[in-house]
A and B are shown apart, each in its own frame.
Chain A
């Protein structure tokens, strides 16, 4: 998308909502210098008002994803049913809200189609969906997208539960956890999605909790750039469900720190070719900064 597409025709500005004008004038599109996480709140962010629960860590994470996108003006996001899409769909980036669990199949066709149609302009495709959407119902498409080394990023919003349908156990729920549809506690363990990504030879894999905003933005950026140039990328993010896990709203961030320390520490698994590519990109960025 070019800035001209977004800019209102002269004379129309005053009839457009202030949020729209704000997005054109102060939003993160088309800037030589992208806004940083520390600028959040000072400029028009991509995500609008949303209906997520008060204190939801997933919402914070999604906002950080939007800040981390290297080229929001050339990004399309694919999602599925679940909590996350309620916030993602309020972003100004085109969002495909597909069928149940179809994200990674849809993204495969979309990315290839965009590459055919725009041979001289990269288009970033990003899947952002929950643990139910990706690890249960969409599992086959997730795995096969990785096996085919499809060039898009998958972000798993892991709240370890089906939040949007009211708190049922998912494949990412931990063993023993009592939830709806697990009245005696979940019988089996949390699926090792990181391990699956690794054996599938995903080029960039990261596990993260939203405790360090700058790190989230940097991780998203790395994942998207690797997908653009090298191969599949995957981010698994702990985004707690304070409702179903009964985390008091003021304690949501403390929970994120505790879980991060206990079992969700930041980890990156990067293939050699992706490492080489990222080193080159980041070296150039440092040089440009100077």
Chain B
């Protein structure tokens, strides 16, 4: 039978059209992240995501609109048109998107999609199956309210639904993080001893629709391509014998062997999450950032709450009070050891969050339980679209001090 021909010129492009991605130079990812010269632009988070995608050597991107994510994935469409992404389409909805992108990843190509709150929940059945299938997909998640009454406001409660899926998860503070974490996520997720999907979340609107300074490398550079053969589980390309999970799912039979297979596979997935820590460190420096490490009062935060906490640290300093900050960059793997070490001097810990459930508070409590003497104070929490004024955080801390009057500052 006939075979396909290489590099067909797409309809509507001139005969001598060369995809823009083909003109980019593949460079060492560590050099790109740490040494390549950067220039700074004042752009929105969605634009920062676009610029990251431009340098990520993406093979397949599948989109479906939802506010506040649409901006990014329609920009990905333009990148496809320019030839930075090789294949792109708008899927029927999120279960379709999340299923299709897993199909693309199983083909052994670099795969990207993005969503927000309700879209994430709609695609959740598919998304929660990605880690077990060992599909290194990158999902950009622009957080928003998922609860009824329906709203399109920022709120990051959806992150709590991803915590126990086995997906790698970085939570960006600002536009710069959105850019850097996306580049890192592709590299980490495709490491052989990781081979897991990665989510990069940012708080919708605060990051996606607001401008910030983003330092970026020259667009002539791109990450090395995904090598479909270099993977913990072979691609479903009929070039390699497929993994046993693909041939007959262990869950199909009800006997002790099947129980053990399933159990050991889950153990392996969560072990791979832990193994990814060394690669995240390689690209992000560390899994946490610590400000004022010796402070007796520490704020632990992730996402946009970090920016509010930074301002709180500054304003406290003006009043002569030293407040420390631990910024959690990766939610999965959760930096347990790092946080434990960073709170050794702390007497009181505050955990401001943009959600009602307080998932970060719960994570910190389970990490520090029995290992830290500090009083862990939940909140303040805002949700449903509320902002978090610095005054709220300062007042919360003042209340906390009253509750523990033995402390002096």
Contacts and interface: CB of A to CB of B under 8 A. Distances in A.
Interface stretch (A110-118, A167-175, A210-218, A235-243): A110-118
Contact of A71 (B1, B96, B247): B1
Contact of A113 (B3, B111, B246, B247): B111
Interface string B99-112: 11111111111010
B184 to A, nearest CB: 23
A74 interface: yes
Interface stretch (A9-17, A140-148, A257-265): A140-148
Interface residues of B, number: 48
Contacts of B252: 86, 89
Contacts of B238: 1, 73-76, 93-94, 123
Nearest to B242: A94
Contacts of B89: 108, 112, 148
B240 A5 contact: yes
A116 B97 CA distance: 18
B155 interface: no
Interface stretch (B4-12, B295-303, B342-350): B4-12
A106 interface: yes
B4 A119 contact: yes
Contact of B95 (A74, A105, A119): A105
A165 interface: no
A183 interface: no
Interface residues of A, number: 48
A110 B5 contact: no
A265 B55 CA distance: 55
Contacts of B107: 109-114, 116-117
Interface stretch (A36-44, A59-67, A95-103, A197-205): A95-103
A118 B237 contact: yes
A177 interface: no
B401 interface: no
A225 interface: yes
Contacts of A118: 4, 237
A116 B60 contact: yes
Interface string B345-375: 0000000000000000000000000000000
A114 B60 contact: no
A5 B109 contact: no
Interface in B53-93: 59-60, 62, 86-87, 89, 91-93
Interface string A150-172: 00000000000000000000000
B387 interface: no
B24 interface: no
A90 interface: yes
Nearest to A89: B248
A287 to B, nearest CB: 15
Contact of B106 (A73, A110, A140, A225): A110
Given A106-B103, A107-B103, A117-B237, A122 B92 contact: no
What are the 6 A-B residue pairs with the smallest beta carbon separation, nearest first?
Answer: A113-B107, A109-B103, A109-B100, A110-B103, A105-B99, A109-B104
Interface of B: 1-7, 59-60, 62, 86-87, 89, 91-93, 95-97, 99-109, 111, 125-126, 129, 228, 235-242, 246-249, 252
Given A90-B248, A105-B96, A112-B87, 13 more contacts: A78-B103, A98-B102, A99-B126, A107-B103, A108-B91, A109-B103, A110-B103, A115-B4, A116-B86, A116-B107, A117-B59, A140-B93, A144-B96
29 contacts: A1-B240, A70-B1, A89-B247, A94-B236, A94-B238, A94-B247, A95-B247, A96-B106, A96-B246, A98-B99, A98-B129, A106-B102, A106-B106, A107-B103, A109-B62, A109-B105, A109-B107, A112-B89, A112-B104, A112-B107, A117-B235, A119-B6, A122-B4, A123-B237, A140-B93, A140-B95, A141-B96, A225-B1, A229-B2
